[in-house]
Structure 1
Amino acid sequence: MTLPSVPLQRAAAQQDLRFAFYGRVSTEDNQDPAASRAWQLRRARGLVEPKGGVIVAEYFDVDKSRSIPWARRPRASALVEALKSPARGFDAVVVGEPHRAFYGNQYSLTFPLFEHFGVPLWVPEVGGPIDPANEAHDMIMGVFGGLSKGERNRIKIRVRSAMAAITATEGRYLGGRPPYGYELVDAGPHPNPAKAAEGKRLRRLVPHPAYSLVVKWIFAQFIGGRGIFDIAEDLTRQGVPSPSAADPTRNRHRVQIAWSKSAVRVIITNPRYTGRQVWNKQRKDEVLLDVDDVALGHTTKLRWNDRDQWVWSERQAHQPLVSVEDFQRAQAVLARRGHGPATHKPHRTRRPYAFRGCLLCGYCDRRMQGNWNNDQAYSRCRFPAEYALANKIAHPKVVYLREAEIIGDIDAWLTTAFSPARIKSTIEAMTEQADDAENTAITQLRKRLATCDQRLSQYRAALNAGADAVHVATWINETEQERARLECELGSVPPSHKVSSHGLEELLNWTGELAHAVVHAHPQDKAQLYTELGLTMTYYPEKKSWKPRWSRLPHVQMVCVRGGT
């Protein structure tokens, strides 16, 4: 029998080569995911099919910026995980457009994985698989990463320059939510012929018939000497809709009845009420997600720009609600209140609170705040009547608790709980509460993971039934991203370190000795012990009682007590 030649063997192997395709599209608003996937896939097939290859798997990220590393893209990270499996189902990976796949130094951080697991990476720019030993291939891919980053930066510069020019010269409304007191109306066709042909139109701000009067009243009251919190309470008392209530879709997570101090402050400091359009009040900064792992890339943070960087329209763009003089007068009043000329004597030391962070209010379950009054430590929960009404909570305006009233009882209870006669019951209570807390967290995470799996099964069934592939792919990507996040949270739950009853008893005996020593200790040392024990206490003012709870088993370390250890 005659054996086939080596070239024929290679050709036969190439004909059986199975490929996984990877592609990416940034946003649905600017690009059509279906069209982008189609041309990237067509380009990939044009590379592999003439050489006998066939694409058997697809990994396509939708609505993911190119600046996001592969580890944080749902489908790209799934492809990397598939590389690790010997039963991956494909022999090589093909990328239809390197500009879409790699950004900056992402190629140099990703390709070593393909090389390690022995999976060739094909790109059209090199006419086939990338050769790890070929310097030209490495240079070409590095250049494409740099070009991709440069293209993104050029787009940002062009867009920002255009928006600044349009704001300054035309005062055009550039989108976003209208300020409280204004509403949007049609302002004619879009000046860009292509966008006008698509039916897009301009919009402009006009005063709201009711809420514009509220804005004028706020400025008049503030300039007249009333405080921000006083104004917010008065508006809530009068039943005036807050910005969240006036626009329920704006902040669905907020209570939409009561006014907050921040809402009044935002209105007072918003220069658009003078009738001029203002842009560039905020900027987007890209900061490292983890300074110890640069490969994870950056995350976007919104930050305020200095006032000298704001871009103002050269003329009035809409009807003003306040004059420029009144607006400047309000800013001067605000500046005097927050940064007056008086000097304040600094505290010598941080005021100590024994119950720092561990005392809860029995009315609203919020943490009580420390408050120093008449040279004594207090804990308080301040809850204005209007907010209590809005949240449907029967809560006094202020709940005060003097630390000295209960600290003796707390110390007595603590030393009793760790006494030899109570060690056994204390062990049982602490173990039960710690296990309940841990099991509840794990159970909730597993339930949410199961829900994600169920949704993925439904989406795949819908895809097989002929549903729109673009929408289903978006749903699948979002669900897989949520599932990966939940798996990370589940993996980050610290394992319960079970301690033998004898060992725990010895530990609590030692802790009991420490508790006796802390009775006469400094409040800061008491707070440290309470924190180490995971102690939280709920104070019920109407009953003049408190309920302790262990949030975890004690992780006791040496605590230096003034006067002893």
Structure 2
Amino acid sequence: MPSQFGPPIDLSDLANFQQADLRPRRPVFVGRVSTKDNQNPASSIPRQVVLASERLEPGEEFVAFYWDVESGMLPPEMRGLGPQEMYDALSVPTPRDGGLQDLVDRAEHLGVTHVLAERSDRVARAMLTTLTVEHQLQQAGVEVVYANEPVGGTESGRLRARRSSQVDAEIYRTTLMEMSTGGQIQHAINGWNHGYPPYPYVAVIDEHAPAQERGRFGVNRPKRKLEPHPDSRRFEAARELCRLRREEHLKAADIIAILAAEPDLYPIEDRWTHNRVEGLIANPKLTGYQVYNRKASRTGREGFSRLNPVSKWVWSPTVVHEPVISLQEWKQAQEVTAGLRAGQAGGPLLRIRAAAGQLGLTVTPVGSSDSHTLYRIGGRQVALPTPIPDMVVQQVIEDMESAT
């Protein structure tokens, strides 16, 4: 903008009267729509282009279009990870040269001078993210322009409007998260399941749940509760798996070997793995309670979920589905797991199993009571107390060695 306090005579013929920008203007469009299911990218993205293009110079056109179908709560590096086939299937008439992260990476190389968007929350709903993107583009000599900002006036007024808009976007984001989290908490308290059902269960529609009216975006998903899997062996397999950790202090590899040795008793799709075993042992839903907020899935790292502390978990007030183990048994298993990870020595049964393995024998539980468990060791059965005293462990080992 020329100064209103100009020279007393005409100096416009001087070479340095105006700062020459040797770069030609190369404006690009940036946009975003949250989801392909609850919104229509085929109409939203072109509408954003029309609004953003109002800030183009006369006769100017966008040289490229960068847009995503992603949540505005995700950082740029988590955007645009969907396959190109997904974007092609959306039938959006606006071409797509990449997503937000692509724009940030390529802006300087492509000689982009201006980035135009409908408003700041089309970049992100988190203020830190929009500020970071703006700063990175500014470092590359790129000006970011939002169509909903006022034209003219003071720089401070323009900045105030921009920051107010960004604050509004972040407050809206936080409000959405609060309402969504509140709804998910009530969902768990009422006994309805989140995510995939654990190994010994299936998720079935709760016929007694309140009828869901058709919402703004179509029919709401039905409420589901957990019921035992039709294959009753799964329940027994999960119970035995937890017992092996709780009473015998076995590590995942040892548990896998026991389960894999008897596939008819412990059925599994494909095969038992470390993650499956540890995941089941750690899953509090096996206690019959519904539990929510065990993991923070959006951490900024693709495919990574951070475990929340137990103090942040949300539990249903009562048992809402048939339990595999008691809550006290689950707690004991977690204590054993913590001890194993800390490098503590194995339990009594682990020593018996190790000695039996050296002799080519297997140790298999046959039945149990509150005070004893009956095991089959090789060709004979042995009743051992719970817990097993060290002197009994030594006696069992000596008996096995003498018998062979």
Shift of the 64–226 alpha-carbon distance from structure 1 to 2, 3 Å rule, reads closer
Question: Contact between 1:171 and 1:277, CA under 8 Å: does it hold in 2?
Answer: yes
Match of 1:310 in 2: 313
Q: 2:250 aligns with which of 198, 214, 227?
A: 227
Task: Give the C-alpha shift of residue 159 in structure 1.
Answer: 1.7
Please state if 1:267 is matched with 2:287: no
Shift of the 39–70 alpha-carbon distance from structure 1 to 2, 3 Å rule, reads farther
Match of 2:205 in 1: 186
Shift of the 35–230 alpha-carbon distance from structure 1 to 2, 3 Å rule, reads same
Count of residue pairs brought into register by the alignment = 299
Shift of the 104–173 alpha-carbon distance from structure 1 to 2, 3 Å rule, reads same
Task: Give the C-alpha shift of residue 182 in structure 1.
Answer: 1.0
Shift of the 50–314 alpha-carbon distance from structure 1 to 2, 3 Å rule, reads same
Distance 1:319 1:92 in 2: 60
Match of 2:324 in 1: 321
Distance 1:224 1:115 in 2: 61
Q: How does 1:402-551 map to 2 (within 5 A)?
A: none
Distance 1:41 1:136 in 2: 25
Give the letter for the 2:288 counterpart.
G
Task: Give the C-alpha shift of residue 308 in structure 1.
Answer: 2.8
Give the letter for the 1:198 counterpart.
V
Q: Deviations over 1:279-319 (max 9, x none)?
A: 122235757xxxxxxxxxx8896332332322110122222
Identity of aligned residues (%): 23
TM-score by length of structure 1 reads 0.44
Question: Contact between 1:167 and 1:311, CA under 8 Å: does it hold in 2?
Answer: yes
Greater percentage in helix: 1
What RMSD over aligned residues (CA atoms) do the two structures have, in Å? 4.2
Task: Give the C-alpha shift of residue 234 in structure 1.
Answer: 1.4
Please state if 1:104 is matched with 2:127: yes
Give the letter for the 1:126 counterpart.
E
Match of 2:192 in 1: 172
Give the letter for the 2:255 counterpart.
I
Task: Give the C-alpha shift of residue 269 in structure 1.
Answer: 3.0
Shift of the 302–242 alpha-carbon distance from structure 1 to 2, 3 Å rule, reads farther
Q: How does 1:12-411 map to 2 (within 5 A)?
A: 20-45=28-53, 47-48=54-55, 54-55=61-62, 57-63=64-70, 65-69=72-76, 74-80=98-104, 83-84=107-108, 92-102=114-124, 103-106=126-129, 108-111=131-134, 121-128=144-151, 134-168=155-189, 170-174=190-194, 176-188=195-207, 191-195=211-215, 198=219, 200-208=221-229, 209=231, 210-225=233-248, 227-228=250-251, 229-239=253-263, 245-246=268-269, 256-257=270-271, 259-283=272-296, 286=299, 302-331=305-334
Give the letter for the 1:24 counterpart.
R
The answer for unaligned runs of 5 or more in structure 2 is 1-24, 81-97, 346-404
Distance 1:216 1:97 in 2: 55
Identify which range, 156-165 or 22-31, moves more after superposition. 22-31
Q: Deviations over 1:379-400 (max 9, x none)?
A: xxxxxxxxxxxxxxxxxxxxxx
Distance 2:344 2:56 in 1: 76
Distance 2:28 2:294 in 1: 45
Task: Give the C-alpha shift of residue 165 in structure 1.
Answer: 2.8
Question: Contact between 2:200 and 2:235, CA under 8 Å: does it hold in 1?
Answer: yes
Shift of the 278–31 alpha-carbon distance from structure 1 to 2, 3 Å rule, reads same
Distance 1:329 1:118 in 2: 60
Question: Contact between 2:78 and 2:302, CA under 8 Å: does it hold in 1?
Answer: no
Question: Contact between 2:68 and 2:79, CA under 8 Å: does it hold in 1?
Answer: no
Q: Deviations over 1:308-366 (max 9, x none)?
A: 32211012222222233443454455566667999xxxxxxxxxxxxxxxxxxxxxxxx
The answer for unaligned runs of 5 or more in structure 1 is 1-16, 247-255, 288-297, 343-565
Question: Contact between 2:120 and 2:130, CA under 8 Å: does it hold in 1?
Answer: no
Distance 2:104 2:40 in 1: 26
Give the letter for the 1:238 counterpart.
E
Shift of the 240–85 alpha-carbon distance from structure 1 to 2, 3 Å rule, reads same
Distance 1:70 1:61 in 2: 12
Task: Give the C-alpha shift of residue 38 in structure 1.
Answer: 3.3
Task: Give the C-alpha shift of residue 242 in structure 1.
Answer: 7.6
Shift of the 97–190 alpha-carbon distance from structure 1 to 2, 3 Å rule, reads farther
Give the letter for the 1:276 counterpart.
Y
Question: Contact between 1:105 and 1:145, CA under 8 Å: does it hold in 2?
Answer: no
TM-score by length of structure 2 reads 0.59
Shift of the 331–121 alpha-carbon distance from structure 1 to 2, 3 Å rule, reads closer
Q: Deviations over 1:179-218 (max 9, x none)?
A: 1111122224774423495263222211112312211233
Task: Give the C-alpha shift of residue 126 in structure 1.
Answer: 2.4
Task: Give the C-alpha shift of residue 20 in structure 1.
Answer: 3.0
Give the letter for the 2:219 counterpart.
E
Distance 1:126 1:322 in 2: 60
Distance 2:132 2:39 in 1: 27
Q: Deviations over 1:498-533 (max 9, x none)?
A: xxxxxxxxxxxxxxxxxxxxxxxxxxxxxxxxxxxx
Q: Deviations over 1:152-198 (max 9, x none)?
A: 22222222222223322x11112x12111111222247744234952
Shift of the 77–279 alpha-carbon distance from structure 1 to 2, 3 Å rule, reads closer
Question: Contact between 2:200 and 2:238, CA under 8 Å: does it hold in 1?
Answer: yes
Task: Give the C-alpha shift of residue 236 in structure 1.
Answer: 0.9
SS at match of 2:317: coil
